[in-house]
Amino acid sequence: MRIAQVVASHGDGGLEKHVRELSRLLLDAGHHVVLVADPRFLADAPAGVEPVAMDFSRNRRNPFLLWAVYRALRDSRCDVIHAQANKAVAIVGALTHWLPAPTVGTLHNAKRDLAGYARLAHMITVSARLARDFPPGRASVVYNGLAAVAPQRRDLRAEFGFDTAPVLCAGGRLVEAKGFDLLLDAIDGLAINLLIVGEGPQRDALELRIARLSPPARVVLAGHRDDLQALLAAADAVVVASRREGFSYVFAEALLGGAPILSTDVPVANEILPPALIVPADAAALRGRLTALLADRAGWDAAMAEPRRFGATKLTLEAMRDGTIAVYRSLIGRN
């Protein structure tokens, strides 16, 4: 197949990671990938894609942008056009009646305005929760996939100066949605070492909160790290304290790495973990459940058996590739 991937953002977030990995998987499976993207995104694109540079800094309704994207997609002669996330979906949705191939868009996070997606032939969502926002049959769930990481023998206590208390790890951009403030309130005064991996605008506020923690709780803000998945795998447990998620990459990375997990009630943790490992986005709830789980670590580990089996089959790169290709083929057959 000739497949067009359209992405309007650039950077190193979960969306961009997904598009790069999916493009590489499609290339490895023998398909031709036309990547319509910002030049900064194309600088790190997988080798083998057909790059089409596009200035997506313009407003999504800009007629010159719409015309440029239309010409690029028309000339690409692709069998299917895949728009990734909201801005790309809005642009492709506005053009869909004039495009020569069926269109599909991936919804990566919960959004109030889904009008752009409704114009496309089909939708892919990264969680079952997001699929419920569309009429039956209009969306397919394809979980983001990751490469598995072997359990780590790294000594996080020695590496980060922790004591003998359990080492918990949490990761993500330091923003309100990720709930790190809730997690700090939850562990205040407990015998817990917490490693937070990530960077973002809440760093100063989190540092102030950490300075006010009661002992013996200890927290290290590690900043951005390229080895997050390995750190998650080496921790005694992982906590996802998010207030909102579309698909938690940290959860998926932790699951494939084998760590016990406690999560707030967000996708996709709430679709995979048993109820005992899901709590509201509330500091008191996190504290109470975390205390109970750390007192019964064997039981916590046993509760992870089924989620780990699910992750090993549904959250892999191969499962993501196969699920996406199945959607493409169904659209081409329907067209």
* pLDDT band, very low/low/confident/very high, at 243 (cuts 50, 70, 90): very high
- Strand segments, DSSP code E, in 162-287 are 167-171, 193-197, 218-223, 237-240, 261-264, 278-279
Indicate the residue type of 199: E
- Whether 150 shows a pLDDT value over 80: the answer reads no
pLDDT in tens, 216-233: 999 999 999 999 999 999
State percent of the chain over pLDDT 70.
99
Neighbour-count burial of 119, counting CB atoms closer than 10 A to its CB (0-12 exposed, 13-18 middle, 19+ buried): middle
pLDDT of residue 330: 96
pLDDT of residue 111: 82
Distance CA 162, CA 184 (A): 16
Token pair in block for residue 241: 């304290």
- Whether 152 shows a pLDDT value over 70: the answer reads no
Distance CA 136, CA 93 (A): 20
Distance CA 257, CA 232 (A): 7
pTM, full prediction:
0.86
Among 166-170, 224-228, 239-243, 318-322, which stretch is predicted with the lowest mean pLDDT?
224-228
CATH of 156-314, picked from 3.40.50.2000, 1.10.530.10, 3.60.21.10, 3.30.1330.80, is 3.40.50.2000
Q: For domain 2-145+316-334, which architecture applies?
A: 3-Layer(aba) Sandwich (3.40)
- Whether 116 shows a pLDDT value over 90: the answer reads no
Among 11-20, 275-284, 300-309, which stretch is predicted with the lowest mean pLDDT?
11-20
Do residues 22 and 40 touch, judged by C-beta distance below 8 A?
A: no
Indicate where the chain has its CATH 3.40.50.2000 domain(s). 2-145+316-334, 156-314
